[in-house]
Amino acid sequence: MVRSPGVSTIDLFSANIRAAVDRIIPADDWPAGWDGGVSAYVSLANEELDWARPALGWLETALDTAARASGGTSFAGLTARQQDAILTSFEIADDPPGAAAHFAALRRICWEGFYASSAHRSPTERHTPIGLEMVGFRAVPHGVIPIEPDPIEGIRPDQVRTGYDAIVIGSGPGGGVAAETLAKAGKTVLLIERGLPLPNSALRGDHLHGKRNAVYAPSAGPGPGHPRLARLQDDDRIIDGTGDASLYGLNAMVFGGGTRLWQGMSWRFLPDDFAMARVFGNPDGASLADWPIDYDEMEPYYTRAEWELGVSGAEGSLTSRTPRSAGYPMPPMATEPARDLLGAAADALGWGWGPIPLAINSVPHGGRPACVRCPQCVGHACPVNAKNGSNNTFIPRAIATGNCDVLFDAEVIEVRDGARSASVTLIASTSTTPVELTVIGEVVVVSSGAVETPRLLLASGIGNDQLGRHLHDHRFVTMLGTTDEPVKDFVGPGHSVATLDHVHGESIPWGGGVIVDLMSLLPLTSASNPAMPGVPRWGAGHKEWMRSGRPHAFGVFGMGQEIPMASSRVTLADHLRDRWGRPAAALRKDVHWASLDVEAGMARVGAQWLEAAGARDIRRQHGPATASAAGEHSCGTARMGSDPATSATDRWGRVHGARRVFVCDSSLHPTNGSVNPALTIVANALRVAEHLTQAWPTGH
């Protein structure tokens, strides 16, 4: 994505501001902040830093005023001790009023300039500061030569046929599976993807725009002109999609969807996950529902998913409650210190544990190499194409049949259902010269995720009152501690070890959750929010902690059941439109008390595991006060069921009341289990798409 160049902010960095930068990150054996990266960062012609202009102007005046009050003529002319005293007064005493917020803005610029790799103008123009070298962070391990896969050839808008057997909207795991299954069955398929065919290099190594940690417009979309409305308890808030990806509820809007940038955790749901209402009943206010299928029906599709996607794993404790018809196609990733430490602790506690199953090549597989253990797997594309997703498995195989066309850079704005055919209206070439097309299909398969799927169908007048309801995700808990020896310092791919003993066990209510080791954090994340108590917020102590203290921070991560509620939903915003004039998605999220019980249980169990591993200073890290109503694991908004009064689709994904419109993504999940849902999305998509080929074209 080429960004507007804007104007450099370096003109605002006077001698006083530069002096403040060099007290926030002072010189030692390594350069100070200004020469170490901040100067180069703010020299970029970058409109995304315009937010800082008022703060920098305010600080220039305030620094001089404070310097004169200290008997000097300028802040830059004071001693380091005097400068630190003034900055401390700004931060701690907020003197003069507003100083703390403006100082925090400067500190943020320092962290971005010194500790973050970024690509503000284009994916090929990188800012790589000295701070990354100082802490030992290498985006691509030493000696590894990145491999760029051959690009997927899409068709031009003028090459789109007027009619196809099937139109599939979205290239994530559900859409990719649907496209391959239908194409292999001899159906002609048009696969529509809103993103551009970006190379992996454009989706890797940018710590300010990467999907998971984006603080500016995410490289994985959605781009300008695609706002969402967050319905908060006290007010409605417009989220414009050009900033915090997590607040937007972004699940990558790129070719391959979330599987392009995930870490690949590939779990099967447990049998009880398909029968939550039967097992637990429905507490007041909840909308738990059983799946219209069970584990036994899903098992052969789980096996196919593991083999057709490519999963590395091991049979043992983590598979003991999910009967299998075959093993994994690849052995698990090799062990590393976190797995060894937590494995020994689990043994001491009497817990089962094992290596996490990952859709990552632990050995060469599928004509692609093994993982090189880069430290930024989560949220970034793979440097050697060893991470398996829809983009390098299902869709290339669909194209190879000769029956599947891929149209990039296109957004569907309407779906129409009919007795004899269905159709879509789309805008192609959205990033250049938009052109509107109408394409006819015998069926339309919507695979746009748990927010965009109901939004498109609702805007098209398709579906019942259940469509968009029951929006839920997972509950997440992070527990942190401090270890005597470094455990996980920039060793990829990320999460490595897990216990499932607290999923549908007695220790955590409502189905519990999986507990895994916490992945290694990016340097910018550690600098901005130190993972230990008592770390100086800036200065020599902060810089020293980044070098020698930070590697001792270690944690575990809990992912558990979120209890759905009918009031949590996706609707259409009344007065907010996207760039095409369509109603934006309005998101409301209510949190059930039972979900908070799951969180509390995971925190308790996570602390117990860290304590057994010898960690100290154990504490829970809380997320932002305003969290998105949607997330990477969102589901349930077109849930399957036999009764249209309580579900939006039937057991085969056909929208209730429609004849030729199907859903094939996480929206179908009535509940979301206690583990990552991607493998279940793939397995269920295999089931749904296979049935569609057998009961063509209406699914009956």
568-594 per-position pLDDT tens digit: 999 999 999 999 999 999 999 999 999
Least confident range of 41-45, 156-160, 559-563, 612-616: 41-45
In the numeric block, the tokens 């020896």 are attached to 485
Element (H, E) at 499: strand 497-499
| 23 and 171 inside one domain | no
| 397 and 457 inside one domain | yes
Boundary of a domain, candidates 82, 115, 148 = 115
Is residue 38 pLDDT above 80, yes or no?
yes
Please give the pLDDT value at position 575. Answer: 94
What integer is the mean pLDDT of 6-12?
69
| 457 and 580 inside one domain | yes
Please give the pLDDT value at position 557. Answer: 97
Q: What percent of the chain is modeled with pLDDT above 70?
A: 97
How far is it, in rounded angstroms, from Cα 190 to Cα 183? 10
Domain that holds residue 402: 165-314+358-473+565-588+630-695
| 300 and 175 inside one domain | yes
Within 399-493, strands assigned E span 404-407, 410-416, 422-428, 435-446, 474-482
| 105 and 171 inside one domain | no
Confidence of residue 626 (pLDDT cuts 50, 70, 90): low
Confidence of residue 8 (pLDDT cuts 50, 70, 90): low
Please give the pLDDT value at position 6. Answer: 56
Confidence of residue 197 (pLDDT cuts 50, 70, 90): very high
Please give the pLDDT value at position 2. Answer: 43
Cis peptide before 697 (omega within 30 of 0): yes
Residue 434 lies in a domain: yes
Question: Is the distance from CB of 206 to CB of 219 less than 8 angstroms?
Answer: yes
Token pair belonging to 327: 């093993």
Please give the pLDDT value at position 378. Answer: 93
Instruction: Please state the separation of Cα 542 from the chain's center in Å.
Output: 28
Q: Which residue(s) pair with 341 in the sheet?
A: none
Residue 37 lies in a domain: yes
Residue 287 lies in a domain: yes
Question: Is the distance from CB of 90 to CB of 99 less than 8 angstroms?
Answer: yes
Least confident range of 35-39, 149-153, 203-207, 625-629: 625-629
End-to-end CA distance of the chain: 43
Boundary of a domain, candidates 81, 115, 149 = 115
- CB neighbours (10 Å) of residue 301? 22
Please give the pLDDT value at position 638. Answer: 99
How far is it, in rounded angstroms, from Cα 406 to Cα 567? 36
Please return the burial class of 533, using the count of CB atoms within 10 Å of its CB with bins 0-12, 13-18 and 19+: exposed
How far is it, in rounded angstroms, from Cα 53 to Cα 43? 14
How far is it, in rounded angstroms, from Cα 97 to Cα 112? 25
| 218 and 367 inside one domain | yes
pTM: 0.96
Token pair belonging to 420: 């004899």
Least confident range of 113-122, 329-338, 670-679: 113-122
Instruction: Identify the residue with better confidence: 214 or 190.
Output: 190
Strand, helix or coil for residue 628: coil
Cis peptide before 493 (omega within 30 of 0): yes
- CB neighbours (10 Å) of residue 491? 18
Q: What number of residues does the chain have?
A: 700
Least confident range of 98-112, 401-415, 614-628: 614-628
| 92 and 23 inside one domain | yes
Residue 68 lies in a domain: yes
CATH number at residue 287: 3.50.50.60
Please give the pLDDT value at position 241. Answer: 82
In the numeric block, the tokens 């390594």 are attached to 30
Is residue 625 pLDDT above 60, yes or no?
no
CA dihedral (130, 136, 139, 140) positive or negative: positive
Boundary of a domain, candidates 115, 133, 154 = 115
Question: Is the distance from CB of 670 to CB of 566 less than 8 angstroms?
Answer: no
- CB neighbours (10 Å) of residue 145? 8
| 175 and 62 inside one domain | no
Residue 244 lies in a domain: yes
Residue 510 lies in a domain: no
Please give the pLDDT value at position 1. Answer: 45
Identity of residue 458: L
| 283 and 383 inside one domain | yes
Crossing angle of helices 15-24 and 99-115, in 10° steps, is: 70
Please return the burial class of 143, using the count of CB atoms within 10 Å of its CB with bins 0-12, 13-18 and 19+: exposed
Strand, helix or coil for residue 1: coil
Identity of residue 201: S
Strand, helix or coil for residue 101: helix
Q: How many domains does the chain have?
A: 2
Is residue 211 pLDDT above 80, yes or no?
yes
| 182 and 264 inside one domain | yes
Confidence of residue 7 (pLDDT cuts 50, 70, 90): low
Question: Is the distance from CB of 205 to CB of 117 less than 8 angstroms?
Answer: yes
Please return the burial class of 300, using the count of CB atoms within 10 Å of its CB with bins 0-12, 13-18 and 19+: middle
Is residue 281 pLDDT above 50, yes or no?
yes
Token pair belonging to 645: 């009064």
Beta-carbon contacts of 22 under 8 Å, excluding residues fewer than 6 positions away, are: 32, 33, 34
In the numeric block, the tokens 């190379």 are attached to 199
Is residue 260 pLDDT above 60, yes or no?
yes
Q: How far is CA 241 from CA 244, 305, 306, 609, 677, in A?
A: 7, 32, 33, 37, 24
Residue 639 lies in a domain: yes
Cis peptide before 149 (omega within 30 of 0): no
Chain mean pLDDT for the chain: 95
pLDDT digits (tens, 9 = 90+) for 510-535: 999 999 999 999 999 999 999 888 99
Question: Is the distance from CB of 523 to CB of 111 less than 8 angstroms?
Answer: no
Residue 518 lies in a domain: no
Least confident range of 45-49, 373-377, 556-560, 684-688: 45-49
Q: Beta strand pairing status for 410-416 and 422-428?
A: antiparallel
The phi, psi pair for 62, rounded to 5°, reads -65, -35
pLDDT digits (tens, 9 = 90+) for 415-443: 999 999 999 999 999 999 999 999 999 99
Within 125-196, strands assigned E span 163-169, 189-192
| 111 and 171 inside one domain | no
What integer is the mean pLDDT of 485-496?
93
Please give the pLDDT value at position 250. Answer: 86
Please give the pLDDT value at position 213. Answer: 82
| 251 and 376 inside one domain | yes
Please give the pLDDT value at position 48. Answer: 86
